[in-house]
Structure 1
Amino acid sequence: MMATIRQQSPVDTIFYSDRQRTRVSPPESVTSSITVSAERIGGIDSTEVTLEPGVNVLTGRNATNRTSFLQSIMAAIGSDRPSLKGDAESGHVELALDGETYTRTLERHDGAVRFDGDPYLEDAELADLFAFLLESNEARQTVRRGDDLRELIMRPIDTDEIEAEISRLESRKREIDDRLADLDDLESERPALETRRQAIEDDIEAKTERLEELESELESFDLDIDASREQRADIEETVADLQDAQSTLDSIEYELETERESKAELEAEREEIDDQLEAVDDDLDSPEHLEGRVQELRNRKRALDTTLNELQSVIRFNEDRLEEDGLDLEIEPNGDTGAGSDTDGDVTDQLLEESSDVVCWTCGSSVERERIETTVEKLRSLHQAKLGERNDLQSQIDELSTRQRELRERRDNHRELEDRRSAVEEELERRESRIDDLETQQAEQRDRVEELEEEAETLETADYGDVIETHRESTQLEMEIESLESEYDDVHSQIDEIETKLEERADFEAEREEIDDELTDLRTRVGRLEENAVDAFNEHMDSILSILEYGNIERIWIERRERSVREGRRKVTKTAFDLHVVRAADDGTTYEDRIDHLSESEREVTGLIFALAGFLVHEVHEAVPTVLLDSLEAIDSDRIADLVAYFEEYADCLVVALLHEDAQALPDSHTYVTEI
């Protein structure tokens, strides 16, 4: 059926500053009508209602499907908490906003309700916690029961993801620190390399000058006067052969020294690997033996998840039925129940006036409401206990999984070390074989050099001794200059490489600074969110208490503090939110009281303000188009009007369900829905 709507003129939103109300026009993101069509949701058969930006008041007596309509809005936005009509197998909701239509279907399968369709939100957790403020809302219930406020306000935050990102950034920061340390080492090496390069350059220059002198001396010798051409040829050939032999010997000795240095480095690496292997072997364990324990804990956790889901479904079902005063039975005029009666509303009113009993939805008998509420409270306590048990299991699973991962990493490291040791052994064998070959070549070449030296000595005479010695010295100088030039090129390349790498320092330092900023933000994000939530609650609680004028309440505020708790086998520091109530005695003195000593009205207001703090801190207004208010009967009419005005500041579209007499205190400028 179509809803009857009384449309009024728009009204400016009321903002509060220093506890004074100032009217300003709010920047609304919901600027057009919202049409909601629902079939077989809660107690609704079929309805269509159009909501307007601003405050929409669902007004009427009890059992007029106002809560069911709020559940329809919840379902269309994405919540899985609404229920099907008791006698229906399927239900449907459509929400039209800004030219878009969002749909949700509900179907009953094996006693459970399945949700499908294309809702406004993919994940409605924030909306369920801080925008859909029905009686069963967890924020309101958490305050009523005095449960963990911090856990609820922080629940939407994925702390695991934050910790993973912190670990990733810390790992990258360590890599950059290592790289910067390497660059510092390189920079400290550069002065010595530059000094060495200059020394080599000076040495090359000196040896080159001496070589030029020797070449001049050789040119000055006139061998043609005292020696035959044949003798001269023999001398030159012997000198040339000696030069070649000496050069070959130097090359062999250089290569032999290089191979011996490489062998020493490999032996040192092998010794280091052996030490690492010994350290790993001492603590190497198999991760597989932990798998059975992890699987057992996961099975227990899955079983607990199933139990928690079933308990939550039962609790929600019973809470919904309590809101609707039991089964929606039709009663004949003679007092019997039956279908087709037209007197549902009158008989319901009579029952509400004459009795606190409700019709049990399991057996159909009349049961005192208090007994059912006690049972539901026990179910909530059981749900809380099971939730704690589940969290303990998750901590154990995380601890064992971490241990498994560490063991697997150690085993992989052990295998890598063994593979590396095998490679080192193979390389050592190759080097040793090469050293043996070079030592053989060295011995043979030394014999060849000695043989040529002896041959040269036989040719040395008074006439040719100086020539041969000069040739020998010049040959030695040429080899030394060649070696120095090669060393100069190596040193120069090292300096160039260092300078190229040092150019990266600025980029690494800039990246490290960015990572420090990101880490600071991540490490303080949760704390800032907690502080903002506490500040928001305290500020708004002060404002609303001033507005609603609860006589003997001086202040209701949250204190954020840290405490040490045990998680599995370890102690960790966690933050807690302590809710304080400060009352004023008749003589003007103040004293601290407890939340459970507050009146029902005061507890309801506290729960709503706590939900508002979460709404603001998590910026829910950016994702959710409506805020829903229900079950305000414990608050008197004038205070409801002030509370609605306060919430109107923070919601583009506020939908509130009120009894007719409570709605009378609200301005006529709101949109009123009188029939659903």
Structure 2
Amino acid sequence: MWDITVSNIAGIQAADATLADGLNVVQASNFMGKSSFMSALQTVMGTTGLYGDSHPLTEGATEGQVTLETADDDYEVRLRRTESGAIAREGTPVLSDETDRTCARLFAFLGENNPIRARVRNGEDITSLLQAPLDIENIDEQIATLRQQRAATERQLEEAEQAASNIPSVTEAITTLESELEELRERRDDLAERAAAESSADTAASDDIADHRSQLQATERTISRLDKQIERTETQLQSKRDELAALDIPDEPSVTADIEEKEAKIETLDLRIDLLEGLHRANQRVLEEDEVELVSSVERGLVADEIGCWVCGASTASDDIEAKLASMADQLDSLREERTALQDEIATIEARKEEIERKRRRETELEDTIGGLRADLDELRSDHQQALDRKERLTDELDALREAAAEAETEVNEELTDVKAEIRTREDELAEQRSRLDALEDQRDAADDLAERKEELDTEIRELRDRKTEKQWELKDQFDTAMTDAIERFAPGFDGARLNVKTDQRNEIEAFELVIARDGRETEIGNLSEGEQELVGILVALAGHRTFDVGERVPVVLLDGISQLSAENLRLLTEYLADTSPILVTTAYPEAGEFGGHRISPDSWRTISDGEPSTA
């Protein structure tokens, strides 16, 4: 059981009611607060203010509130009119998650102002509404981020695989260096013994010269390595600069203005089409039902009937009226084709805008990469200059050492010096190769983890893509199933309806199209009766309710603004929705008769109609 108290919400000044599990019927005549009570329920649930809706604070009131007591918790939402005239919402609603609120507004709260019902009624595109929960999840952005991570992981995996292929050659180089060092050390020991017999005075000078020669050789290797790195970095930098220069990014403001102009034209066309459709449908029905005498006088003739025009009163032939209606139908087709062409142009422009945004993101990426490469290049050039300076210094110092030791140096000492220098060079090379081997082995050992991470990313991308696609196809299947059930249950005056899907080049669904069939051929939603239009809208919303498991998110379904349905069909609809949610609340007029379930009477409520008329 739910206990709800309402103050200054829509047309209700003060009211309280109890909601029971199952069906609840707010049954009363006009101006007694039925729809306002539904607005109060939406307020405490937290869904007002979405999709162009406003918070329903009573006109003239500065504050209003709704409190809800359930078996598990208490909730309170307050509406307050600010100094600027805007209405602010405060408190703790039942639904706090954005996806839950969106699902409730679109798929559970099925009042006359339900966005899906409104778009179906007006023959507008419903794709964005049906996919709203998926858009909130930002599935496409998640996939793009995961693809970037996968690309980086693939590069690391390639490097790891390359490292594994380089290990044998590095291992062989280490073995060779160890063997050469062993021979050089044996030779050094032998020469040292011979040199000791000649003189021990030259040992220190020999060590200095050997040390300088080793440092000089290491510096020359560093310079060579830096030369290659600088060349590679300059090549990368130029490549990125060329790519950046080649990016052609059109000016977006003109594109936006173009879209706004076309959308304005579409709005004008929508108005004209709506007017013509209404006029054509009304006049066509008068002729089809042979009820001309309801609106005008008729003189039956042998060739053609003479009819008094029910607009201007002039006499005209029935054939002329039919010809005019045919001309009007042709004009409608022309306007619809023009609207479709404009919508296609807007889609093309939107694709262009998306391409512009992609190029701008790439431009930013390139600028960041260029900045990083320039910083790397500056650092490499600085290191290169330092190495050149060090080489020059070591060369001068080595020349000085050699000149000082030249006179005293014997042939043995000279050879010993060479061997010592060679040993130090080989030791440095061995240390570099061992360090390189350690790095390569670390990269190789990471390959399994990288491959596993790549598989994880592949799975995440596939699951996200499949989730979106599965939900999109489920929407179609759920609507088709609901429509089949409705045709059997309600027996409307049309054959049925279905959701057609439009796919892109990757065979991914990009749009839904509502198709209505009557008398074996497609027809417009506007050609259905008002009750049939509302039934189709409710079934579209119900498909979303089932697809996104809204019953697990939102504990109540609200049904309002369906006076177009007969009392019998309203009862059938409440029975059809009985298993959709733990609590179902609907409005009804007294003449609709008994519904069963829990009846909510507004007799004790105080509404603004008690003092002045209201639409509540």
TM over 0.5: yes
Q: For residue 38 of structure 1, what is the amino acid of its counterpart?
A: V
How many angstroms does 1:610 deviate by? 0.8
Q: Find the aligned partners of 1:430 and 1:478 in 2 and give their Cα distance.
A: 26
- Aligned twin of 1:495: 437
Pairing 1:233-244 to 2, within 5 Å after superposition: 236=196, 238-241=198-201, 244=204
**Aligned residue in 1 for 2:8:** 40
State which of 75, 97, 100 in structure 2 corresponds to 1:101: 75
- Separation in 2, partners of 1:503, 1:283: 35
Structure-1 residue corresponding to 2:499: 558
| 1:31-70 deviation per Cα after TM superposition (whole angstroms, max 9, x unaligned) | xx11111123233232111010110011223333211111
Gaps of 5+ in 1: 1-32, 219-234, 309-386, 458-468, 565-570
Residue 614 (structure 1) aligned with residue 544 (structure 2) = yes
Pair 1:390–1:119, CA change in 2 (3 A): farther
Which whole-Å CA distance do the structure 2 matches of 1:390 and 1:593 have between them?
Answer: 25
Alpha carbons of 1:208 and 1:620: their partners in 2 closer, same or farther (altered >3 Å)? same
Amino acid corresponding to residue 672 of structure 1 in structure 2: R
Distance 2:415 2:236 in 1: 52
Q: Is the aligned partner of 1:261 residue 2:221?
A: yes
Residue 413 to residue 619, structure 1, CA distance change in 2 (3 Å) = same
Q: Structure 1: how far apart are the matches of 2:459 and 2:67?
A: 45
Query: Which amino acid in structure 1 is aligned with residue 212 of structure 2?
Result: I
Check conservation: 1:582, 1:591, Cα contact below 8 A: yes
Listed one character per residue, the Cα deviations across residues 318-339 of structure 1 (whole Å, up to 9, x for unaligned) are xxxxxxxxxxxxxxxxxxxxxx
Q: 1:504 offset after TM fit, Å? A: 2.3
SS of the residue corresponding to residue 556 of structure 1 reads strand
1:673 equivalent in alignment to 2:615: no
Post-superposition Cα deviations, 1:142-184, rounded to whole Å, max 9, x if no partner, equal 2222211212111243368333333332222222222212211
- What is the DSSP-based 3-state SS (H/G/I as helix, E as strand, rest coil) of the residue aligned with 2:56? coil
Work out whether residues 59 and 663 of structure 1, in 8 Å CA contact, stay in contact via their aligned partners in 2.
no
TM-score w.r.t. length of structure 1: 0.65
- Is the Cα–Cα contact under 8 Å of residues 207 and 420 in structure 2 kept in the other structure? no
C-alpha deviations, 1:222-253, integer Å up to 9, x for none?
xxxxxxxxxxxxx8464444555454434323
- Say if 2:77 and 2:91, in contact at 8 Å, map to a contact too: yes
After superposition, the C-alpha distances for 1:553-612 in whole angstroms (9 at most, x for unaligned) are 2x3211112258xxxxxx9986221222334x5xxxx43333333233322221111111
- Describe the SS at the equivalent of 2:563: coil
The 2-side partners of 1:182 and 1:399 are apart by 32
Structure 2 CA distance for partners of 1:436 and 1:504, relative to 1, 3 Å: same
Aligned to 1:184: 161
Name the CA shift for 1:538/1:281 in 2 (closer, same or farther; >3 Å).
closer
Q: 1:161 aligns with which of 124, 138, 142?
A: 138
CA distance in 1, matches of 2:159, 2:468: 35
Query: Any conservation in 1 of the 2:556–2:585 contact (CA below 8 Å)?
Result: yes
In structure 1, the residue corresponding to 2:473 is in which secondary structure? helix
Q: Distance in 1 between matches of 2:493 and 2:350?
A: 46
Aligned partner of 1:362 in structure 2 is: none
**TM-score of the two chains, using structure 2 as the length reference:** 0.71
The 10-residue stretch of structure 1 (415-424 or 97-106) with the greater mean CA deviation from structure 2: 415-424
Offset at residue 277 of structure 1 (A) = 5.7
CA deviations 1:498-525 (Å, max 9, x no partner) are 3233322222222222111111222333
1:366-515 matched pairs, under 5 angstroms: 410=366, 414=370, 416-448=372-404, 450-453=406-409, 456=410, 484=426, 487-515=429-457
- The CA distance in 2 between the partners of 1:88 and 1:212, in whole Å, is 105
* Equivalent-residue separation in structure 1 for 2:347 and 2:92 (angstroms): 32
For residues 426 and 381 of structure 2, the distance between their equivalents in structure 1, rounded to whole angstroms, comes to 34
* 1:654 matched residue in structure 2: 584
Count of residue pairs brought into register by the alignment: 516
CA distance 1:399–1:479, change in 2 (3 Å) = closer
Q: Kindly tell me: are residues 502 and 273 of structure 1, through their superposed partners in 2, closer, same or farther at Cα, counting changes over 3 Å?
A: closer
Q: Is the radius of gyration larger for structure 1 or structure 2? A: 1
1:601 is aligned to 531
Q: Which letter maps to 2:600?
A: V
Change (3 A) 1:295 1:442: farther
Structure 1 residues 95 and 399: alpha-carbon distance in aligned structure 2, compared to 1, 3 A threshold? farther
Matching of residues 228-307 of structure 1 within 5 Å = 236=196, 238-241=198-201, 244-275=204-235
1:211, 1:261 → 2: CA distance?
24
Mapping of 1:631-642 within 5 angstroms?
Answer: 631-642=561-572
Shift of residue 129, structure 1, vs aligned partner: 1.5
Cα 1:424–1:598 shift into 2, 3 Å = same
With over 3 angstroms needed to count, the CA separation of the structure-2 counterparts of 1:90 and 1:447, relative to structure 1, is: closer
Amino acid in the other structure paired with 1:597: N
Long gaps (5+) in structure 2: 268-342, 604-616
CA contact (8 A) 2:77 2:89 kept: no
Corresponding position: 1:147 with 2:115: no
Q: Is the 8 A contact 1:533 1:614 kept in 2?
A: yes
Work out whether residues 79 and 87 of structure 2, in 8 Å CA contact, stay in contact via their aligned partners in 1: no
Q: Against the structure 1 CA distance between its residues 284 and 601, is the aligned structure 2 distance closer, same or farther, given a 3 Å change threshold?
A: closer
The aligned counterpart of 2:472 is 530
**Distance in 1 between residues matched to 2:536 and 2:479, nearest whole Å:** 9
Indicate which of 507, 510, 520 corresponds to 1:575.
Answer: 510
Question: Retained in 1: the 8 A contact 2:255–2:353?
Answer: no
Kindly tell me: are residues 204 and 418 of structure 1, through their superposed partners in 2, closer, same or farther at Cα, counting changes over 3 Å? closer
Residue in 1 aligned with 2:114? 137
Deviation digits for residues 74-122 of structure 1, max 9, x if unmatched?
1111123453444544432222212413233253765554433332223
Counterpart of 1:644?
Answer: 574
Q: Letter of the 2:589 partner, please give it.
A: L
In 2, Cα distance between the equivalents of 1:280 and 1:528? 40
Q: CA deviation at 1:613?
A: 1.1
Q: Within 5 A, what are the aligned runs for 1:63-102?
A: 63-78=31-46, 79-80=48-49, 81=53, 83-98=56-71, 99-102=73-76
Q: 1:421 to 1:582 in 2, by over 3 A?
A: closer
- How far residue 409 of structure 1 moved from its aligned partner, in angstroms, is 5.4
The answer on 1:195 being equivalent to 2:172 is yes
Letter in structure 2 aligned against 1:164: E
